[in-house]
Amino acid sequence: MDEFLLEDYKNHLTFERQLAKNTVLSYGSDVESFLEYCVANETSPEAATPDFLDQYNYQLRVVEGLVSSSVFRKMEAVKSFYRFLMVEEKIKEDPTRFLKSPKLTQKIPTQLTRAEMERLLSYPAETLAEMRTVTIIELLYAAGLRVSELIGLRLENVNIEEGWVLAFGKGGKQRFVPIHQEACERLKRYLVMREGYFAGKDVSSEVFLNKNGKKLSRVSVWKDLADLGRKANISQKLHPHLFRHTFASHLLQGGADLRSLQEMLGHANLTTTQIYTHLDVTDLKNKHKKFHPRG
């Protein structure tokens, strides 16, 4: 396997396309698997033909039995790799140009109800860890942040007085997201408690810290949310993206327009935002009854 070629590709994703670290790792891993397949079949990636790519697609779908979403992701990575080879003029024709990725069924995001959100946000936090988790929930729900944006949030990125946070999204893109007064008050109380706990200690400047004063990890956020969900008797298993879905769904149900929601979520494409245009059946029935001439 050409490790230098793989490294060049990952550098291209990191420095030229400025993709997020996790995206680079994912694409790099998928392309590495493809390069190993090339070696096993004694074919140079530069010499691969459309038929060879079809065989690889068959390998993923039938031989390995991967689900459509996994096949889609891996083939998109391979397409990206060949676009890179074209840019670097290592090949003259892209063998993936006519390759069709499997169609994915669009999943409607799940969301929490307003009652469930109220139960979580009114949870009587007693320890710093519980206060941190409830504040995380408040902020995820108030601003629709991704978990990477949340744990990367630094003290200087939060303006409690004016009510906004500066989020650093995919590819290092920045966006200002407004947060409401209740979220500001919750954040203020947490920061006071945080300051008292770490008084006199040299700690990181991220808003959310672990017990050692270091940046909180993704794993800790997932674990803490799941724990609090059980304590608050929430039937769904809580995870960071669930609150992003809930944020978007509740805003749309409240009358927000798609363009504004796109800006707040940091979506590059409006099509991505449109997945949130689903509403619960009750809401649809109420609006139908209200606005239909014969309702």
Reading phi first (left if > 0) and then psi (alpha if -120 to 50, else beta), residue 154 is in: beta
Of 241, 285, 288, 289, the catalytic one is 241
**Do 30 and 77 meet the contact criterion of CB atoms below 8 Å apart?**
yes
> Residue 146 catalytic?
yes
End-to-end alpha carbon distance in the chain: 66
Residue 142 CA to residue 205 CA, distance in Å, equals: 21
Residue 120 CA to residue 192 CA, distance in Å, equals: 21
Residue 248 neighbours by CB under 8 Å, 6+ apart: 109, 144, 261, 265, 273, 276
> Residue 170 catalytic?
yes
Half-sphere exposure in the Cβ direction for 153 (13 Å, CA): 25
> Residue 58 catalytic?
no
Of 56, 82, 141, 276, the catalytic one is 276
Of 10, 194, 215, 244, the catalytic one is 244
Of 10, 12, 74, 146, the catalytic one is 146
Of 170, 188, 189, 239, the catalytic one is 170
> Residue 267 catalytic?
yes
Residue 199 CA to residue 184 CA, distance in Å, equals: 22
Of 74, 194, 215, 267, the catalytic one is 267
Active site residues: 146, 170, 241, 244, 267, 276
